[in-house]
Amino acid sequence: AVTAADFLPADADLDSLRTAAAACRGCELCDIGSRTVFGEGPTDARLMLVGEQPGDEEDLAGRPFVGPAGRALDAALAEAGVDRAGVHLTNTVKHFYHVERGKRRLHKKPAVRHANACAPWLRAEINLVRPAAIVALGATAAQTLVRRDLRVTESRGQWFATAAGFPVLVANHPSAVLRARDERHSEDLRRGLIDDLATAIQFVS
Ligand code: URA
Ligand code: SF4
């Protein structure tokens, strides 16, 4: 089957990866999202944050975490004392998977086949940046980087490793904070996210 691996340049740096990823047709999502939203941040970042996939605003802007989830993440980063500009921020899946409902574009959770097809981009980013730690934001990232049956509710705040040996801390996704069933649950998720970001920045400092 075709995957992102078929579009990977041989001698990659982050810029050549970004350029190649813009032309990726590794899965059906290239015909659903309007553009590839590649990761951003310094090549020598010590910390990498991996989300799920771009949302509506990210798809329009071509940048990760600039919509509502991005604002929730920014607030958590500030509280944890993490400088966003110093970290490499990316997603597990690089195209916006959604369905159209009238004028609205509703997020759909990426399938395992999308995460697998897109994994070569994430692996290439990790291998170039070689972060001292990765924070997996939410289930899609954690299940792709650690193991398929991982549950964030059970494993957030715990360290694992990628197949290549990079340390991974599992954390709540900022969207979970926004979608929580009530105020108290939202506050728990928010505190958990801040704690985990603080743990990660301390680990790499
Ligand atoms: N949610 C994500 O996981 N990533 C983004 O870039 C935006 C929202
Ligand atoms: Fe390629 Fe990933 Fe986009 Fe699929 S989601 S087309 S694998 S960049």
Q: What is the ipTM for the molecules in this complex?
A: 0.97
Q: Is the pLDDT of residue 12 over 90?
A: no
Ligand 1 atom closest to 89 (CA)? 6
Output the pLDDT for position 178.
97
Q: Where are the alpha helices (DSSP H) in the chain?
A: 14-22, 56-61, 68-80, 112-129, 139-145, 152-155, 174-179, 183-204
pLDDT interval class at 142 (50, 70, 90):
very high
Output the pLDDT for position 68.
97
Q: Does ligand 1 lie within 6 Å of residue 33's CB atom?
A: no
pLDDT interval class at 9 (50, 70, 90):
confident
CATH topology of domain 4-204: Uracil-DNA Glycosylase, subunit E (3.40.470)
Output the pLDDT for position 138.
98
Q: Are 64 and 33 in contact (CB under 8 A)?
A: no
β-strand pairing of 167-171 with 159-161: antiparallel
Q: How far apart are CA 97 and CA 93, in angstroms?
A: 9
Output the pLDDT for position 133.
98
Joined together, the tokens standing for residue 116 give 């697998």
- Please give the radius of gyration of the chain, using alpha carbons only, rounded to the nearest integer: 16
pLDDT interval class at 41 (50, 70, 90):
very high
Q: Kindly report, residue by residue over 64-117, the tens digit of the pLDDT.
A: 999 999 999 999 999 999 999 999 999 999 999 999 999 999 999 999 999 999
Output the pLDDT for position 62.
98
Strand partners of residue 91: 51
Q: Does ligand 2 lie within 6 Å of residue 95's CB atom?
A: yes
Q: Is the pLDDT of residue 49 over 80?
A: yes
pLDDT interval class at 2 (50, 70, 90):
confident
Q: Does ligand 2 lie within 6 Å of residue 120's CB atom?
A: no
Q: Are 148 and 64 in contact (CB under 8 A)?
A: no
Nearby residues of 201 by Cβ (< 8 Å), 6 or more positions away: 47, 80, 81, 82
Instruction: Write the CA distances from 86 to 59, 168, 177, 205, integer angstroms.
Output: 23, 18, 23, 12
Q: How far apart are CA 152 and CA 148, in angstroms?
A: 11
Nearby residues of 10 by Cβ (< 8 Å), 6 or more positions away: none
Mutation to probe ligand 1, out of 91, 121, 143 (largest number of atoms < 8 A from CB): 91
Q: Is the pLDDT of residue 11 over 80?
A: no
Q: Is the pLDDT of residue 28 over 90?
A: yes
Mutation to probe ligand 1, out of 36, 48, 52 (largest number of atoms < 8 A from CB): 52
Output the pLDDT for position 10.
78
Q: Mean per-residue pLDDT for 146-174?
A: 98
Q: Does ligand 1 lie within 6 Å of residue 55's CB atom?
A: yes
Q: Mean per-residue pLDDT for 118-143?
A: 97
Output the pLDDT for position 131.
98
Q: Does ligand 1 lie within 6 Å of residue 54's CB atom?
A: yes
Q: Does ligand 2 lie within 6 Å of residue 141's CB atom?
A: no
Mutation to probe ligand 2, out of 2, 58, 93 (largest number of atoms < 8 A from CB): 93
Q: How confident is the prediction for the chain on average, in pLDDT?
A: 97
Q: Are 49 and 135 in contact (CB under 8 A)?
A: yes
Q: Does ligand 2 lie within 6 Å of residue 94's CB atom?
A: yes
Q: Does ligand 2 lie within 6 Å of residue 123's CB atom?
A: no
3-state secondary structure of 54: coil
Q: Mean per-residue pLDDT for 16-43?
A: 97
Nearest CA among 107, 91, 99, 87 for reference residue 21: 91
